[in-house]
């Protein structure tokens, strides 16, 4: 590894590189397990004689739990460390995966698909772990490699699982294919615990003073933090509405109202937990050395809302968009052309992290979100008069800015406050899912062009918001258990 931000991925003797490879593959497996149902849905639909509405319900349930799970996992990883939390997540998810594969009723399918949304929180854990191992000059690129290669798990699953189902053969081939992902995840969880370490040898793993919520350093930031929690609850309320008779009719109207009431109660409980974490500092103040601005977290949240949120939404609708826009395409060709959007992750996300390391955090984030806004505006103009290769190139260019923007967001996350990196990553990650719910809800009311224009307009607003993010400079202070102060370089 050089001092110029470059990373030699083949230098396995370097503990940093070994840790990076071990960690991105853990994330890769979580995405294989999380989206394993999608390429096998045709088999599942036939086996259970599912209606289109029931299939849609499974797709909604798959992302529902991920929003609160990313917040919870962020708290756990900061408190207990990435090694034990990632291992536990993989092992627990393997059992849920087995249960989904062996389900004999639609109700069981729905329950276990909902619970598998938990594995989608794995992303948060590696952000903290990679941030512990790499210096500031390389952390953007390292986080980009982790995120981009890990995200590729959904595409890898789509390419291999149908073939695996055919290889197992019979009516239950899809069950064995699903279960095999659970076996691999469980075994890798044990392997991860054996080889991974929370920090380099001799380094300190900084933990929050109290668990239950982010520590903030002013009364204004306390209320700002509470305000930023509301969209996550609104997104969950929208998901409950989508599962009600108004949407896919999995829940009764009474059940929807009960869930809404539960979300209000949960918000009150979380608000109290956040107050308990911060009451002493709100009363007595915080030393200047320990202060940070919560606006940094808020801007990263909304930036991930428009980057990862739009990616999840667009990947869900792009095959149908191509199919309905161009008469000459069949479903197979439309799916192949649309898959290019996800494939860009392999290079785009690391590139976004590298830009952030090389050219500056704020400048890179604004450039990439600005490019994203232009990209979606162009997609909004695609119609059946376009030459298909040009439409595909426009889509790929747009996806580059989307995923590079994701890389730029998480190049900053580890540099805000080291001991709370898991929670900050969890909140930003949850906002990505909130973005997906928001954009897909918009799509249910408007045509494709308007959908792309809405993303472009929201990206433009967030582009200007990014101007107010502070470029990480100098050092951040972390207080040791004995009261001494440890300084960490952030540039």
CATH of residue 147's domain is 1.20.1250.20
Count how many domains the chain has: 1
Length of the chain in terms of residues written: 491
Residue 438 DSSP label? H
pLDDT for 343: 79
> How far from 205 is each of 261, 418, 487, CA to CA, in Å?
38, 9, 13
Three-class SS state of 407: helix
Element containing residue 316 per DSSP (H, E) = helix 294-325
pLDDT for 483: 57
Rounded to a whole number of angstroms, the CA Rg of the chain reads 22
Q: Which residue has the tokens 């045709």?
A: 42
347/11 Cα distance (integer angstroms): 20
382/375 Cα distance (integer angstroms): 11
Contacts of 388 (CB under 8 A, 6+ apart): 326, 328, 329, 337
> How far from 385 is each of 83, 328, 389, 390, CA to CA, in Å?
53, 12, 12, 11
> How far from 256 is each of 115, 237, 244, 367, 430, CA to CA, in Å?
18, 8, 6, 41, 22
54 found inside a domain? yes
Tens of pLDDT, residue by residue over 270-290, are: 999 999 999 999 999 888 878
pLDDT for 3: 46
2 found inside a domain? yes
pLDDT for 190: 98
485 found inside a domain? no
Contacts of 220 (CB under 8 A, 6+ apart): none
pLDDT for 1: 38
Work out the mean pLDDT of the chain and round it to a whole number: 92
Contact between 156 and 34 (Cβ < 8 Å): no
- In terms of Cα–Cα distance, which of 374, 431, 366, 455 is closest to 404? 366
Contacts of 202 (CB under 8 A, 6+ apart): none
22/69 Cα distance (integer angstroms): 22
Contacts of 333 (CB under 8 A, 6+ apart): none
Three-class SS state of 491: coil
209 found inside a domain? no
Tens of pLDDT, residue by residue over 172-187, are: 999 999 999 999 999 9
391/322 Cα distance (integer angstroms): 9
124 found inside a domain? yes
Q: How confident is the prediction along the chain (491 residues), in pLDDT tens digits per residue?
A: 344 567 889 888 999 999 999 999 999 999 999 989 888 988 999 999 999 889 889 988 988 999 999 999 999 999 999 999 999 999 999 999 999 999 999 999 999 999 999 999 999 999 999 999 999 899 999 999 999 999 888 888 888 899 999 999 888 999 999 999 999 999 999 999 999 999 999 888 988 888 889 999 999 999 999 999 999 999 999 999 999 998 888 899 999 999 999 999 999 999 999 999 999 999 998 888 788 999 999 999 999 999 999 998 998 889 889 989 999 888 778 878 887 787 788 899 999 999 999 999 999 999 999 999 999 999 999 999 999 999 999 999 999 999 999 999 999 999 998 889 999 999 999 999 999 999 999 998 999 999 999 999 999 999 999 999 998 876 666 665 555 566 677 66
Domain that residue 175 falls in: 1-204
Q: Which residue has the tokens 């258990």?
A: 481
* 465: exposed, middle or buried (Cβ count in 10 Å: 0-12, 13-18, 19+): middle
151 found inside a domain? yes
Three-class SS state of 170: coil
pLDDT for 210: 85
**Residues linked to residue 478 through DSSP beta bridges, in sequence order:** 486
415 found inside a domain? no
344 found inside a domain? no
Residue 474 tokens read as 């100098």
């Amino acid at each position: 590894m050089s001092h110029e931000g470059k990373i030699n991925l083949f230098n396995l003797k370097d503990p940093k590189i070994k840790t990076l490879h071990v960690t991105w593959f853990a994330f890769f497996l979580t995405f294989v397990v999380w989206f394993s149902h999608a390429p096998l849905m045709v088999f599942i639909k036939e086996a259970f004689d599912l209606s289109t509405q029931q299939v849609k319900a499974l797709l909604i349930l798959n992302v529902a739990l991920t929003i609160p799970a990313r917040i919870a996992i962020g708290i756990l990883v900061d408190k207990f460390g990435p090694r034990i939390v990632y291992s536990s997540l993989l092992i627990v998810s393997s059992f849920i995966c087995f249960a989904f594969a062996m389900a004999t009723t639609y109700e069981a399918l729905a329950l276990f698909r909902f619970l598998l949304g938990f594995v989608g929180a794995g992303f948060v854990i590696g952000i903290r772990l990679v941030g512990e191992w790499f210096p500031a000059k390389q952390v953007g690129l390292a986080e980009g490699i982790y995120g981009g290669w890990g995200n590729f798990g959904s595409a890898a699953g789509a390419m291999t699982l149908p073939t695996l189902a055919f290889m197992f053969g019979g009516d239950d081939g899809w069950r064995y294919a699903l279960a095999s992902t659970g076996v691999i995840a469980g075994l890798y969880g044990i392997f991860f615990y054996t080889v991974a370490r929370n920090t380099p040898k001799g380094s300190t793993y900084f933990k929050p003073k109290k668990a239950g919520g982010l520590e903030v350093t002013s009364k204004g930031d306390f209320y700002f933090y509470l305000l930023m929690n509301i969209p996550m609850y609104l997104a969950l309320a929208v998901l409950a509405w989508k599962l009600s008779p108004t949407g896919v009719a999995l829940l009764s109207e009474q059940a929807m109202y009960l869930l809404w009431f539960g979300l209000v109660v949960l918000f009150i409980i979380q608000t109290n937990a956040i107050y308990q974490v911060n009451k002493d500092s709100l009363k007595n103040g915080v030393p200047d050395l320990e202060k940070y601005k919560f606006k940094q977290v808020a801007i990263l949240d909304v930036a991930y809302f428009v980057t990862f949120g739009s990616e999840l939404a667009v990947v869900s609708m792009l095959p149908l968009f191509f199919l309905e826009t161009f008469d000459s395409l069949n479903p197979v060709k439309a799916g192949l052309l649309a898959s290019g959007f996800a494939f860009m992750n392999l290079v785009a996300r690391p590139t976004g992290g590298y830009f952030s390391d090389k050219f500056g955090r704020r400048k890179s984030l604004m450039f990439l979100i600005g490019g994203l806004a232009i990209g979606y505006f162009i997609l909004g103009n695609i119609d059946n008069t376009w030459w298909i290769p040009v439409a595909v190139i426009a889509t790929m260019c747009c996806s580059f800015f989307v995923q590079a923007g994701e890389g730029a967001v998480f190049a900053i996350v580890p540099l805000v406050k080291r001991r709370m990196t898991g929670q900050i990553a969890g909140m930003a990650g949850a906002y990505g899912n909130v973005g997906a719910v928001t954009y897909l809800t918009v799509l249910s009311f408007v045509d494709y062009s308007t959908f792309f224009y809405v993303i472009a307009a929201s990206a433009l607003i967030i582009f200007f918001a990014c101007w107010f993010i502070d470029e990480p400079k100098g050092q951040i202070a972390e207080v040791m258990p004995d009261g001494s102060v440890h300084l960490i370089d952030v540039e």
